[in-house]
Amino acid sequence: MKNLDSPVIKVAIADDHHLFRTGVRTSLSSRKDIQMVGEAENGMQLLNLLKHIKPDVILLDIQMPIMDGLTTLPEIKKLYPDVKVVMLSMHNDHSVITRMMEIGANSYLTKDSDSELIYQAIKTCYEEEFFFNDLTNKALLTGLRQKKVPEHEITEVNLTDKEITVLKLMCEEKSTKEIADIVDISPRTVEAIRDKLKSKTGAKSMAGLVMYAVKTGLVEQA
């Protein structure tokens, strides 16, 4: 687990639009806890760059020439599993978002997101692994509805009342601190419960836990 006291989050961006990269770099330069450490025009250039730099978070455009974000994401996760990746796109296609989250994205933002939202996504992914918003939640739930998961594929496990409460709050986009305050436990205990939930359900990520919660009817597919 990362040292959350680290004063600076190192960020790299891969996007084929120079003006967009410049805009993001400029907007984040005013943040004292963000340091832009690299820029790339496509996935191949980014992977070459990652041999020399070690960002904490990568902003990754989906549509790029030579090597797009869809191809680049699994490579990043295989080679640098600790690096968080925030996907960027002009589109909000639910099937694309669901696919991105399933193969390892830590968040998904549309490219018209304001600088504050991009900053929050970077910071939250760095500190808490995932940044969920209305877009990602609706996409995940829509994807589950469309998949119509067969009953025999849903493995029910015995969860304690506290584990169920924490899982529901996670699905409501509550932060670790907010969950700790609501349930009256420490943030460290929330993290321990989250790890236990992953172990019990077989989920590999927060996205997997959200999917499990919907499949088993713990949260509504609304």
142, 169, 191 - which closes a domain: 142
Is residue 220 in a domain?
A: no
**Domain carrying residue 16:** 9-142
- Output the pTM of the full model: 0.67
From residue 22, how far is each of 14, 18, 41, 87, 123 by CA, in Å? 11, 6, 12, 17, 20
In terms of DSSP bridges, do strands 9-14 and 34-40 run parallel, antiparallel, or are they unpaired? Answer: parallel
In terms of DSSP bridges, do strands 9-14 and 57-61 run parallel, antiparallel, or are they unpaired? Answer: parallel
Based on the structure, what is the number of domains in the chain?
A: 2
Q: Are residues 72 and 29 in the same domain?
A: yes
Q: What is the CATH number of the domain that holds 205?
A: 1.10.10.10
25 phi/psi in degrees, rounded to 5:
-60, -45
Is residue 23 in a domain?
A: yes
DSSP 178: H
Is residue 2 in a domain?
A: no
Per-residue pLDDT reduced to its tens digit, 122-176: 998 898 788 876 666 666 666 555 554 444 444 567 889 999 899 888 877 777 8
Q: Are residues 21 and 128 in the same domain?
A: yes
Q: Are residues 126 and 164 in the same domain?
A: no
Is residue 147 in a domain?
A: no
Which range, of 32-36, 41-45, 157-161, 185-189, averages the lowest pLDDT? 157-161
142, 171, 195 - which closes a domain: 142
Per-residue pLDDT reduced to its tens digit, 80-106: 999 999 999 887 776 777 777 778 888
From residue 165, how far is each of 43, 67, 68, 79, 201 by CA, in Å? 40, 42, 39, 35, 15
Q: Are residues 32 and 127 in the same domain?
A: yes
Is residue 1 in a domain?
A: no
95, 124, 142 - which closes a domain: 142
